[in-house]
Amino acid sequence: MAETSRGIGGLAFDASKRARPPELNVLIALIAIVAAFELLGRLLIGDSFLFNTRDNVDGIFNQQRLEIIILQVSIVGIIAIGVTQVIISGGIDLSSGSVVGATAMISMSFAQVALVNGQPNPKGVFLEQGWVDLPVIVPVLVGLACGLVAGLINGALVAYTKIPPFIATLGMMVTARGVARWWSKGQPISFPTESFAAIGKGLMPVVIFVTLAVLFMVILRYTRYGKYCYAIGSNEQAARISGINVEHHKILVYSIAGVLAAVAALVLSSKNLTAQAGMGVMYELDAIAMAVIGGTSLSGGRGSIVGTMLGALIFGVIISGFTFLRIDAYYQEMIKGVIIVAAVVLDVYRQRVRSRG
């Protein structure tokens, strides 16, 4: 038998086909977008996007703007981590925004103080039961449990009924929003304890986001869990034949996504010091957009948390860039929609190039 140094196969193996990491492209896009806003800012409104132009504060960068950018994407970023691993394993989760709403309402009810200015808490949900001034662990555990239940139901529906993930999680999206509205008959729930309010105070959302991102980076890259996410998203049949319990894995994946949505809800309601039934509307789409902009493929098997973090930054930069350029909020919504579609088109295009090459 003939042996060749380049191995066997009709086609010569081309090492350059080992494509450069997609995260690099996302990073380049991020830098390009920042540069574009810098340029537009100087041309249109005579101000710098990135750099400090005021004499009365220190530092070369516009610290305040950078903080706002990161802070405003952190909460959705936490959701995006969960959504990323769902998409990598070939699914989708449309319920996260509503799970945020329901979780915020329910957990906030267990985080309230008894007295406001010496009067009984006017918004108190469980005043009669005396469930006030509880230790912070109670609302946190209640919240995480809400997310877990939602995720378990999503996962079980996807794994065992074989209905498309899009439909299963759409059902949860509507149901969880209903729960959020029903919980206090539409009333906002406010006045949390000091310790609950500390969860989302200051830069805490950023700290929590980055910690979770690093944790899931490691899990997806180095553990069996991560390997199975990519395997199932890549070829579910192959994963099953290789002996992976695909059903169990999917339930785990959706449960983790639900818990992460609950974490986002805790941080958000703590930061706002109130919970409202409309909280988190459309967050699921923002989270999916962050993942897709970051190079996670909607057809599964490809993506990374690093990419999603970069995608989140791009998202934050664009939104604060528009505010900086004083573009109206209505236009911002429209442009956001265009960006989401553009990211998906890019993904489809990348795929076509790949299958051709």
Partner 1 sequence: MTEKIILRTEGLTKHYGGVKALEDADFELRDGEHVAIVGDNGAGKSTFVRQITGVESPTSGKIHFDGREVEFKSPLDSRDVGIETVFQNLALADDLDVPSNLFLGREKIYFNLGPFSFLNERLMHTRALEALKTTGVKIPDLKSKIRYMSGGQRQCVAISRAASFASKLIIMDEPTAALGVQETAQVENIIRTLKQRGIPLILISHNLRQVFDLVDRIWVFRRGRIVGVVDKDKTTGNEIVAMITGVKSGVGDEATFA
Written as one string, the DSSP assignment of 70-113 is: HHHHHHHHHHHHHHHHHHHTT-----HHHHHHHHHHHHHHTSB-
20 near partner 1, rule: CB under 8 A: no
Least distance CB 234 / partner 1 (angstroms): 4
Measured over the CA atoms of residue 204, residue 251, residue 285 and residue 32, the dihedral's sign is positive
117 near partner 1, rule: CB under 8 A: no
2 near partner 1, rule: CB under 8 A: yes
Residue 116, token pair as written in the block: 């406001």
Among residues 15, 137, 329, 353, which is the contact residue for partner 1, using CB under 8 A? 15
Question: What is the rounded (10 degree) CA torsion for 297, 298, 301, 304?
Answer: 50
With CB under 8 A as the contact rule, which of the stretches 12-20, 122-130, 136-144, 338-346 interacts with partner 1? 12-20
d(CA 87, CA 69): 25
4 near partner 1, rule: CB under 8 A: yes
DSSP secondary-structure letter at 44? I
Under rule CB under 8 A, how many of the chain's residues touch partner 1? 42
Phi, psi (rounded to 5 degrees) for 337: -60, -45
Question: What is the rounded (10 degree) CA torsion for 219, 222, 227, 233?
Answer: 50
259-318 positions binding partner 1, by CB under 8 A: 301-302
225 near partner 1, rule: CB under 8 A: yes
Least distance CB 12 / partner 1 (angstroms): 9
In the bound state with partner 1, the residue whose beta carbon lies nearer, of 12 and 60, is 12
Q: Which residue has the tokens 């005021």?
A: 54
d(CA 201, CA 276): 18
d(CA 65, CA 48): 11
In the bound state with partner 1, the residue whose beta carbon lies nearer, of 4 and 119, is 4
Q: Which amino acid is at 124?
A: G
240 near partner 1, rule: CB under 8 A: yes
d(CA 136, CA 153): 26
Least distance CB 289 / partner 1 (angstroms): 22
Q: Which helix (H) or strand (E) holds 18?
A: none
Least distance CB 355 / partner 1 (angstroms): 9
245-264 positions binding partner 1, by CB under 8 A: 249, 252
223 near partner 1, rule: CB under 8 A: yes
Least distance CB 216 / partner 1 (angstroms): 11
Among residues 27, 36, 206, 219, which is the contact residue for partner 1, using CB under 8 A? 219
244 near partner 1, rule: CB under 8 A: yes
238 near partner 1, rule: CB under 8 A: yes
Cα atoms in the 13 Å half-sphere on the side-chain side of 258: 26
8 near partner 1, rule: CB under 8 A: yes
* Sequence-separated contacts (24+) of 337-340 with Cβ below 8 Å: 339/289, 339/293, 340/285, 340/288, 340/289, 340/292
In the bound state with partner 1, the residue whose beta carbon lies nearer, of 95 and 255, is 255
In the bound state with partner 1, the residue whose beta carbon lies nearer, of 97 and 301, is 301
Least distance CB 253 / partner 1 (angstroms): 10
With CB under 8 A as the contact rule, which of the stretches 113-121, 182-190, 223-231, 338-346 interacts with partner 1? 223-231
In the complex, which residues of this chain contact partner 1 (CB under 8 A)?
Answer: 1-11, 13-15, 17-19, 219, 222-225, 227-228, 230-231, 233-235, 237-244, 249, 252, 301-302, 354
